[in-house]
Structure formats: C-alpha cells, structure tokens
A and B are shown apart, each in its own frame.
Chain A
Amino acid sequence: MEKNKIKTSTGEKIFTVFNYAFFTLLCLVMLYPFWHEIMLSFSSLEASMKGGIFLWPKGFNLDTYKSVFKNPNIYTGFRTTIIVTIAGTALGTLLTAMTAYPLSKSRLRGGKVLMTLVLFTMIFSAGMIPSFLLIQTIGFMDNILALILPGLVSAYNCIIMKSFFLSIPESLEESARIDGATDLRIFFSIILPLSKATIATIALFTAVGYWNDYFSTVLYIRSVDKWALQAVLRNMLTNTQQAMQQAGVNVMAQTNTNAQTIKAGTIVVSTVPILIVYPFVQKYFVKGVMIGGVKG
C-alpha cells in the first residue's frame, strides 16, 4: 500500500484533491459546533443574546464559568457519573470477557443454548416499565447501583468479545494446558493479556454508555446529590415553558431558564473530560474495532 509508482490519471488527481478538500470541510463541520459553544461560553451575556458570535468570543469574560462552578449539582453530578462510569466500566468489561470466553469454546456443553440466551436479549428488549419494576423490587431505588448494574453486560459487546476470542489460536492455550493450567488460569494469564485492544474497545463502549446515560437517573434516582451529570445538564439545558403552560402555573419566576452563555458553559464543562480522555483511548479503540470487527 506504500508508494505506488503507477502514473495516476487526471481523473484520479481531481478525485484526490476533492477527497482532501471534502474531508477538511467535513472535519470543520464536526468541530465547529463545539468551537462555537466554547466561544459562546466566553462571551458576555448581552453579546450572546444579540447573536452573531461566529469564530471568536464577543465581550470576553469568565462570568459564565464562575456561575457554572457555583452550581453544586455540577460537582455532585461529576462525582456520581465518574463513580458510575469507572465502576460500571471495570466490572462490565470484566463480566463481558468472562461471559464471552466460555461462549467461544465450541466444546462447551450447552454453549449454543447459552449463546442463544445472550443473543435473545439483544433482539427482544424488556421495555421501560418492567425494567423499572425490577429495580424497584430489588430495592435499588435511589441507589447508584441502579445506575451501574443494568448496563453492565450487553449482548452486542459479548459477541464482539467472543469473535475476538475465536480468533486466538487454540495452540496457545494447549501448551498452557499441557503445563497443567486450568481454564481459569488460562483465561486470566493468557487470554486477557492478549485481548488488551478488544478489552479497551469494550471498555470504551461501556464507558461512553455510562457517561452519557441520562434516563436511568430520571427513572431510579431521587436525591439530587446522586443525579448523574447528564441529568443535571438536561435540567440546565431545557426550557420548560411548555410544561408550565400546560400546568397553568400562575406565578412569576418559576423558571430557572439559563442564559445561552450558561448553557454553553455547561456543555463545555461536561464535554471537556471526554475530549481529554479521547485521544488517549482512541488508538486502542480503532485497533480494537479492526481486530474484533462487528462480526458474530
């Protein structure tokens, strides 16, 4: 795939130029909204309401961040989300690998049935209300376990993991087995270290799911200090006139509608952690996708 010395036709040259131009444009389109939010968050309130902020802030100031960081819910939101993401990702990834490994062994008795059971959960979901009733029944309401546990293992991740395990040559395990290692030993000391990239990929999938989960908080959490970050965000980002109008709320100042700058600042604050972690994990992640693919 290196330098191909074959002469390229004019059509191909035009295509190449177009190709680069197109992707440059596309990248700008991807980046710009975030850039705009950052600029908005550094602008003054008046300028933001007048509109017309494109590339640089108008009326540069840090007031936005002063008020964003005054909101105690931002801190507790970060705390909950970080705990949930780390615990959920660590546990979820381990569980996924533990589930997928035996499924990749064709000699396992009942393996096919188990596999079907796993697959079935992917194509037939239980629905919102029964899931809610379950959490209520087992007494996890208002407990951050309710944010962690239901999302631990997904059938989709199991399949990716399993197909990766299938690609590991059996011979590696055989030699260990001859040395008397149990399946457990083999899994933890041979298979897991070999699967770093795939594990990183699954971990990333899981982590993104946890980080972005908004709805579980609505369903399961009451105490405001246990709200996940996304719920705090949603509360700050949405306008609520509609709900109030339907309610016929007859009092002034019932809203806490936030100014555009505050909204922008909140978006930036909540997105920055992802942007910081992102470059570090993304190389694993591309590798992981390449190895695992989505094949089942």
Chain B
Amino acid sequence: MAAAAKPAKPAYELSGWERFKKDVVRDKWLYLLILPGMLFMLIFRYIPIFGNVIAFMDFNPYNMWNSTWVGFDQFIKLFNKPAFMQTFYNTLYISILKMVCGFPIPIILALMMNEMRNMKFKKVAQTLLYLPHFISWVVMAGLIMNFLDPSTGLVTALLKSITGKDLQVLTDKTLFVPMLIITDIYKTMGWGTIIYFAALSGVDPQLYEAAEIDGARKWKQMINITLPAITPTIVIMLILNCNNIVNAGFDQIFMLYSALVYDVADIIDTYVYRIGIQKADYSFSTAAGMFKSIIALVMILIVNFVAKKTGNEGIW
C-alpha cells in the first residue's frame, strides 16, 4: 500500500513517521509541482461535488437563505415522475446503441488501414477520417439540419430515391435515434481509429515476419497476432466507454431535438437543463444529475472489477 522506500538510504533505522517526513522533504519540489493541479481539482471538481448537497434541499436560487432541507424528497419526486424515468431509459438506450454500433467500427477500420501499404494514402485517409472529431456539435448540427432539410436536403433526396417516401428524419420518432447513432459514429469513428492504429503500430514487425515464414496467411496473422496485440487497448476503451453509459451526448441531442421527439430523445442531461436552468428548479435537477453520476460511478466500478477479474488491466 505505501510507496516503497528507497533501499539506498539507511531507512530501516528510522521510525515510520520519521521516514515519512524525510520522504516528504526529499520530494518537496514534486509536491510543489502538483499543488496547483490539486488546488484546481479541489476548487473546480470537488467543491461542485459537495455542492450536490442542494439535491437534499429546496434550494431557492433567488434567495439562498430561504432554502430548506428536505432530505430525500427531491429524489422521491424524481422517481415518481414518468417523464424522468423515460429520460433515464432513453439515456441508457441511446448510449448503449451508440456503443454497440460504434465500438467495433474503429477497430475494423484500424485493422483494414493497417493492411494498406501506400503510406501517403494511409496518411491522407487518416487525416480526413478524424477531421469531424475537431468540428463542434454546433457546426455539425448545422450541417445535419442542412442535409436533412425536408425540401432541399441532399440526404432527404437520397432517402426519397431509395424508399420512395418523404422522410423527415429530424422529427420522426423512429428515425431520430438512428440518426443520432449514425452522426455520432460519423463524428467519432476516425478518432477511435487513430487510437487503435497507434496501438497496432506498436506491434513488433518481427512477429509478422515469423508468421510469414511459417506460411500464415494474412487472415491468420490478424487473428493470432494483431488482435491480441490491441486487446488491452480495446479493454481500456471499453471501460472508458462504460463510464459514458449515462452520457448519451448532451451537445448532439440538445442541438437537434424538438418536442416531437422528446419521447425518444430526451435524456437526463437535456432534462436537467430544461428543468434546472430554464425553470430554475436547481434542487430537483441537481438530484437528477446526481442520480446520473452515481449510476456512472457504479457502472465503471463494476466494469473495472470484471476487467481485472478476467485478467485484463483495469484503469487503476
């Protein structure tokens, strides 16, 4: 548990506390280095976490002194709201779909890209592929609305020529979520590809050479060498993704949804925003947000535990 003391020092003569003091003095510059960062974490991450106490209050934003403690009332109200339970369901539904559909794509793309021999092409492809990662959702939403415009949108026209119907994706309950998934994949796949590609380029070329001497075909090489090599990266990415299971993508949905698709598209974050910020019901929406954070915490603890149990490296 404690950090190992340096064997070079005659440490065994000192008591635990003295040794501790000595180590701290030795590393004073390191503590100095880390101080601003930890102060930052304290102020901008931890104080707001403690700020969650207003979920147990009836917080009056216009007059703080008029706030009263209400215990778990806000949470009870929350769970009795059908609208909230719907947003909770939508959140999980959308994020799980995003994960199931979006997770394998970068791996496949990276594996395919790895097979290309033309370095120039590879580079250009990479560059273009992760370009959308750098574009904000504000702009992406502008693009999407443009392409899905019912009268002049190019994708609308394309869909019409395929299905023969005038499809209004942005207001259609059955099409809205698939649209979210596809545009999310569009925006993020290039980025994921880069990460796996980076992991792939770390694979020892000698392994392939050896395999080729053994006469293994490309396909076999991929199964036996490439995939195992990037499995740790896949696991880490998976764990990080699980942390996002309660984040179905606020920016994306916020910019694109409308009341017509609330049923399927309203997520916890958009709900928190509408109730909390617009209606100034700070306590209620903080309770909703806190519920979300707790689910996320539990989620990642479980996944990390499972990963470790199955012999992979967790994130800590």
Contacts and interface: CB of A to CB of B under 8 A. Distances in A.
A30 interface: yes
B125 A26 contact: yes
A234 to B, nearest CB: 5
Contacts of B131: 30-31, 34, 278
B227 interface: no
Contacts of A129: 51, 54, 272, 276-277, 282, 285-286, 289
A215 to B, nearest CB: 7
A253 interface: no
B6 interface: yes
B100 to A, nearest CB: 20
Given A30-B190, A112-B3, A293-B199, A105 B30 contact: yes
A295 B236 contact: yes
B115 interface: yes
A232 to B, nearest CB: 9
B37 A182 contact: no
A215 B250 CA distance: 10
Interface string A64-80: 00000000000000000
Nearest to A234: B138
A130 B52 contact: yes
Contacts of B186: 29-30
A128 interface: yes
A255 interface: no
B48 A296 contact: no
Q: Identify the interface centre among A101, A138, A295: most chain B CB within 10 Å of its CB.
A: A295
Given A124-B297, A234-B138, A294 B195 contact: yes
A271 B139 contact: yes
Interface residues of B, number: 108
A190 interface: no
A157 B2 CA distance: 25
Given A22-B112, A107-B23, A260 B146 contact: yes
A144 interface: no
B174 interface: no
A106 interface: yes
Contact of B276 (A105, A128, A159): A128
A159 B258 CA distance: 38
Chain B residues touching A, majority SS: helix
Contacts of B127: 278-279, 282
Contact of B112 (A23, A33, A96, A122): A23
Contacts of B154: 36, 54
B41 A117 contact: yes
A294 B45 CA distance: 22
B133 to A, nearest CB: 8
A132 B198 CA distance: 38
Nearest to A105: B30
B27 interface: yes
B3 A214 contact: no
A284 interface: no
A152 B41 CA distance: 10
Contact of B139 (A19, A40, A219, A267): A267
B315 A117 contact: no
B72 interface: no
Interface string A118-160: 1101111111111111100010000000000110110000110
Contacts of B137: 212, 214
Contacts of A123: 243, 296-297, 300
Contacts of B121: 20, 23
Given A130-B49, A134-B48, A183-B33, A27 B129 contact: yes
24 contacts: A16-B115, A16-B116, A19-B112, A99-B34, A99-B40, A102-B30, A105-B27, A109-B23, A114-B38, A117-B46, A123-B243, A126-B52, A149-B40, A150-B44, A153-B37, A212-B135, A212-B138, A230-B139, A233-B142, A237-B142, A237-B145, A242-B258, A260-B149, A296-B315
**Which A-B residue pairs are the 10 nearest by beta carbons?**
A99-B37, A130-B51, A126-B48, A51-B152, A127-B289, A212-B136, A183-B29, A290-B198, A130-B48, A102-B30
